[in-house]
C-alpha cells in the first residue's frame, strides 16, 4: 500500500523532499508563514506543493477555497517567497498547477482505505484539511499513521 503510494507520488506529483523519509516533511520554519497561514488552518509544509501551486494560491487569496484570506502586499510577498523557495520539486503534468493537497494522487491513495474512513467518522473530523485531527505530529512535519 505504502509502496503503491510511493509509485504514484513518483509518477505524478512528487513532493520529493517530502519523500526522503516517507512519513515526514521539513517543518515550517518561517514565523510569518506559521502565524498567518496557521491562523485558519495548519500551516501546511511547503514541500507538499510545487512552487507554481504556491504562487497561484498566494495570487488568489481573496477567494481562498471559498473565503477571503487576503493579506497586505508585503506580508503576502514574504510568505510567497518562503513557500516557493521551500516548495516540493514535483512537476504538475497539467497546465494549471494543483491547488488542493487533498486532491493529489498520493494523498487520495493514502487516505482511501477502510481504516481511514472509519477514523474520520469516529473522530468527527470536519475536513481532510485538518491533518492534526489524526496525525498528531502534523504541525511538526510528522505524518506517521497515528
Partner 1 sequence: MRSLLILPAVIALLATVDAEAGARQALLDGFATQAKAADSGFAGFSASRGENLFRTSFAGGKPDTPACTVCHTPSPLKQGETRAGKPIEPMALSASPDRYGDPKKVAKWFRRNCKSVLGRECTAPEKGDFITFMTGQ
Task: Please state, in angstroms and rounded to a whole number, the distance separating the CA atoms of residues 64 and 67.
Answer: 5
Residues in a beta bridge with 67 = 64
Per-position x/- string for 11-50, each x denoting binding to partner 1 as judged by CB under 8 A, each - no binding = ---------------------------xxxxx--------
Burial string for 41-62 (b: 16+ CB within 10 Å, else e) reads ebbbbbbbbbbbbbbebbeebe
Binders of partner 1 among residues 120 to 139 (CB under 8 A) are: 125-127, 129-130, 132-133
Q: Which helix (H) or strand (E) holds 41?
A: none
φ/ψ (deg, to 5) at 95: -65, -40
Q: Which stretch binds partner 1 (CB under 8 A): 17-25, 50-58, 70-78, 114-122?
A: 70-78
Q: Which is nearer to partner 1, 22 or 34 (CB)?
A: 34
Q: Which stretch binds partner 1 (CB under 8 A): 7-15, 19-27, 67-75, 109-117?
A: 67-75
Q: Which is nearer to partner 1, 75 or 81 (CB)?
A: 75
Whole-angstrom CA distances from 34 to 43, 56, 60, 124, 140 are 6, 19, 19, 25, 11
Per-position x/- string for 72-111, each x denoting binding to partner 1 as judged by CB under 8 A, each - no binding = x---------------------------------------
Q: Which residues bind partner 1 (CB under 8 A)?
A: 38-42, 62-63, 66-72, 125-127, 129-130, 132-133
Amino acid at each position: 500500500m505504502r509502496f503503491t503510494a510511493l509509485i504514484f507520488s513518483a509518477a505524478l506529483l512528487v513532493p520529493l523532499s517530502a519523500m526522503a523519509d516517507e512519513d515526514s516533511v521539513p517543518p515550517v520554519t518561517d514565523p510569518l508563514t506559521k502565524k498567518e497561514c496557521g491562523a485558519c488552518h495548519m500551516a501546511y509544509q511547503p514541500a507538499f506543493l510545487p512552487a507554481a501551486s504556491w504562487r497561484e494560491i498566494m495570487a488568489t487569496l481573496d477567494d481562498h477555497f471559498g473565503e477571503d484570506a487576503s493579506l497586505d502586499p508585503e506580508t503576502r510577498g514574504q510568505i510567497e517567497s518562503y513557500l516557493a523557495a521551500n516548495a516540493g520539486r514535483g512537476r504538475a503534468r497539467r497546465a494549471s498547477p494543483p491547488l488542493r493537497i487533498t486532491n493529489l494522487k498520493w494523498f487520495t491513495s493514502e487516505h482511501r482505505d477502510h481504516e481511514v474512513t472509519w477514523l474520520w467518522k469516529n473522530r468527527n473530523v470536519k475536513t481532510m484539511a485538518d491533518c492534526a485531527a489524526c496525525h498528531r505530529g502534523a504541525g511538526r512535519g510528522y505524518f506517521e499513521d497515528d
